[in-house]
Amino acid sequence: MIVRPKLSWIQLLFVWRGSVMITIWPRLLLFFGIAVLAIIQDNWLFKEPIPLNIVPFSLLGVALAIFVSFRNNACYDRYWESRKLWGSVLNRGRSLIRQLKTMTDMSPEAQDEMVELLMAFFYTMKHQLRKTDATEDVNRFVPLRWRQRVQDCRFKPAQIIQIMGECVQEAKRAGLIDPMNNLAIDESISGLSDSLGGNERISNTPIPFAYSILLHRTVYIYCSLLPYGLVSSIGFMTPVISVFVAYTFLALEAIAEELEDPFGFASNDLALDFMCQLMESTLREQAGQPALPDRQPNENYQLT
């Protein structure tokens, strides 16, 4: 996620860090070269003008813009839904710790174990979605008696939810939680499971590949042929207009690719490290421990 101070309108025109220009500039150079080649062919190589004009590109461009925007909106919906699910995880986690501390007679040690398990749930969910190794965070948070059990599981956050449910049931059988409060606590734990399932659904269900490849091919063919439709009418301005049109389509496509899987490390993906640290910090405060300092963006203004 890009986090920058507010920029003026003139700064936004020339900003580099945090934009998709870093990704697409080689392709823009390619289309600039195609536009220069179109000028050379039209003015010096071919005796007859290139038999193309702007009319078909105008019609196709409108349709292509609609389809590219549709894909971009679909990818942003995935991004925003995953952000809401992570916000729900934070809210459910806060509610669960409050309920354990105010609605049960569990010992402080047992409550602290639940806090540690909940923090382990946040971090292991992040690792599962990013497909990274969770060993370090499992060793850091999961109490020793459950550590190997979690390590041996493929779906570690789901196993941690199972362990939290077992802890609550043990406390209920010991008379430390009455049946009505047990229902409220179980609802909070079930809410964590719902949010986990929602994030897994987004992670495991990409935009249909055939749709993505169709748009990708169409954009590149359109941007490659566009200079030949422009050169007869605008001449030496063809490279400028062609690159500007290509920038619009390629930038939208690049942003959509990043947002399609919002759990990665791209510039516009969710800042899962930041959110996990924020969740850890707020839970530590609820448990009577000092909060952690906020995670800061790197030199490229990216917050991971």
What confidence category does residue 126 fall into, taking pLDDT thresholds of 50, 70 and 90?
A: very high
> Is there a domain that residue 10 lies in?
no
What confidence category does residue 4 fall into, taking pLDDT thresholds of 50, 70 and 90?
A: low
Q: Average of pLDDT values for 169-177? A: 89
Domain interval for residue 266? 22-44+51-286
pLDDT at 157: 94
Taking 90 as the threshold, does the pLDDT of residue 84 lie above it? yes
> Is there a domain that residue 13 lies in?
no
> Is there a domain that residue 8 lies in?
no
User: Where is pLDDT greater, at 203 or 52?
Assistant: 203
> Is there a domain that residue 303 lies in?
no
What's the per-residue H, E or C state across the chain? Answer: CECCCCCCHHHHHHCCCCCCHHHHHHHHHHHHHHHHHHHHHHHHHCCCCCCCCHHHHHHHHHHHHHHHHHHHHHHHHHHHHHHHHHHHHHHHHHHHHHHHHHCCCCCHHHHHHHHHHHHHHHHHHHHHHHCCCCHHHHHHHCCHHHHHHHHCCCCHHHHHHHHHHHHHHHHHHCCCCCHHHHHHHHHHHHHHHHHHHHHHHHHHCCCCHHHHHHHHHHHHHHHHHHHHHHHHHHHHHHHHHHHHHHHHHHHHHHHHHHHHCCCCCCCCCCCHHHHHHHHHHHHHHHCCCCCCCCCCCCCCCECC
User: Where is pLDDT greater, at 70 or 300?
Assistant: 70
Q: Average of pLDDT values for 29-50? A: 81
pLDDT at 49: 65
pLDDT in tens, 244-275: 999 988 988 888 888 888 998 888 888 898 88
> Is there a domain that residue 292 lies in?
no
Q: Average of pLDDT values for 21-33? A: 89
pLDDT at 50: 67
pLDDT at 197: 94
> Is there a domain that residue 293 lies in?
no
Q: How many domains does the chain have?
A: 1
